[in-house]
Amino acid sequence: MSENNFSINRRSSVGVRVGSIMLGGGAPVVVQSMTNTDTVDEVATVEQVAQLARAGSELVRITVNSMEAAKAVAGIRARLDEMGCHVPLVGDFHFNGHKLLTSYPECAKALAKFRINPGNVGHGKKRDEQFATLIETACKYDKPVRIGVNWGSLDPEMLARIMDENAASSNPQDAKYVMREALIASALESAAKAEEIGLNRNKIVLSCKVSGVQDLIMVYRDLAARCDYALHLGLTEAGMGSKGIVASTAALAILLQEGIGDTIRISLTPEPGGSRSREVIVAQEILQTMGLRAFVPLVAACPGCGRTTSTYFQELAESIQAYVRDEMIVWRGQYDGVENMTLAVMGCVVNGPGESKHANIGISLPGSGETPVAPVFVDGQKTVTLKGDNIANEFRAIVDQYVSEKYPRKVV
């Protein structure tokens, strides 16, 4: 729900506490992310977790894939706490999680949640034993678990069983349907087993990730209708750059609009040298542009056209968005509601003043052939006209002044 005139009926789900963060049970949709450092490298992992948390990730998942990685987890937690970064850590376990968690109780204690994939727990009798060990460890340390099914690693026995059942039915469905059904059955049956072992419903989060937009929507609609566990949404292997962003947004926006999803992760492949934090920014922007949450003031900007041949307004739009994102690290702790502020940077007078009036603060740069002045609107009123070489700095100063005068100081 937001201040806009719309409402979304969130699916009702059982709330799960993950450290200091609440997932589901009516809590706002949580943004999470995952590191891509080698967890054994404590320094690099701490640095990336802190970077993701600074960008706004409310939970950060780390790989725990070896004895060395499990050994490093408690140290990572301690270093983060020393830095004042208390973001809850989620451990990602595959194949050997049962051994790692029982061999390193300090690792189990330092994590706020375990993520296990029922397709990667083991096979046959071992699967059940190892799954039980994981769940018993979660119960012992009072930790929630995400049962995260992925179509790239579906339990083969489960898939074979569902294929057989489908073939024997009077109305057999196509292979895609069988795959979707196997994903959902794997999540639900694993959750039921976890409950039988003793894990409370308020310690269980489910996910069923696929890489196709339509498949993801169908899987989650069905999963959401068949249970009330908290749900983690995400497109797996979303891809790189605009493709990954568009595919994730297309799928998640539809589900979120239907009230489905308690936490989201955007699985973007970073460009070489690109920042891991981009996945956090994309997740926040999906939620914020949909009016579901507010994190950072957003800048509206026109696309530009033949009426403005200068790139100045593009540079100003980019620099002011970066500026408010950086400043939010401090503003968030000082001012109430500043994340709802809206800015507009426009390329000429055609739509410039109009759009500027709709924002809290808007500036309209001169288009080709227009007088080289930039009117600024604050809460719909023209307050000043900027000109000369210092427009960017003067505009930033107007933003700073607006923040300090408009938003109440937080009581610390």
Residues that bind ligand SF4 (CB under 6 A): 302-305, 307-308, 346-348, 350-352, 367
Nearer to ligand SF4, 305 or 397 (CB): 305
Least distance in angstroms from the C-beta of 319 to ligand SF4 = 17
Least distance in angstroms from the C-beta of 304 to ligand SF4 = 5
Least distance in angstroms from the C-beta of 354 to ligand SF4 = 9
Nearer to ligand SF4, 149 or 374 (CB): 374
Q: Do the beta carbons of residue 52 and residue 60 sit within 8 Å?
A: yes
Nearer to ligand SF4, 97 or 347 (CB): 347
Q: Do the beta carbons of residue 118 and residue 208 sit within 8 Å?
A: no
Angle at 250 between CA 234 and CA 201, to 5 degrees: 30
Nearer to ligand SF4, 275 or 310 (CB): 310
Least distance in angstroms from the C-beta of 359 to ligand SF4 = 13
What residues form the annotated binding site for [4Fe-4S] cluster?
A: 302, 305, 348, 355
Tokens of 64: 């725990």
Nearer to ligand SF4, 314 or 340 (CB): 314
Query: How would you classify the pairing of strands 113-116 and 16-18?
Result: unpaired
Nearer to ligand SF4, 254 or 350 (CB): 350
- Distances in Å between the Cα of 288 and the Cα atoms of 34, 246, 325 are 20, 16, 14
What distance in Å separates the CA atoms of residue 135 and residue 113, rounded to the nearest whole number?
11
What residues form the annotated binding site?
A: 302, 305, 348, 355
Number of C-beta neighbours around residue 16 at 10 A: 26
Least distance in angstroms from the C-beta of 325 to ligand SF4 = 23
- Distances in Å between the Cα of 111 and the Cα atoms of 57, 75, 86, 306, 334 are 16, 11, 11, 54, 30
Residue with tokens 């937009």: 213
Identify which of 11, 16, 17, 87 has the alpha carbon closest to the alpha carbon of residue 45.
87
Identify which of 166, 162, 206, 160 has the alpha carbon closest to the alpha carbon of residue 187.
206
Tokens of 263: 């936490």
Q: Do the beta carbons of residue 377 and residue 356 sit within 8 Å?
A: yes
What distance in Å separates the CA atoms of residue 237 and residue 195, rounded to the nearest whole number?
30
Residue with tokens 């802190």: 50
Torsion angles phi and psi, residue 45, rounded to 5: -70, -45
Nearer to ligand SF4, 84 or 306 (CB): 306
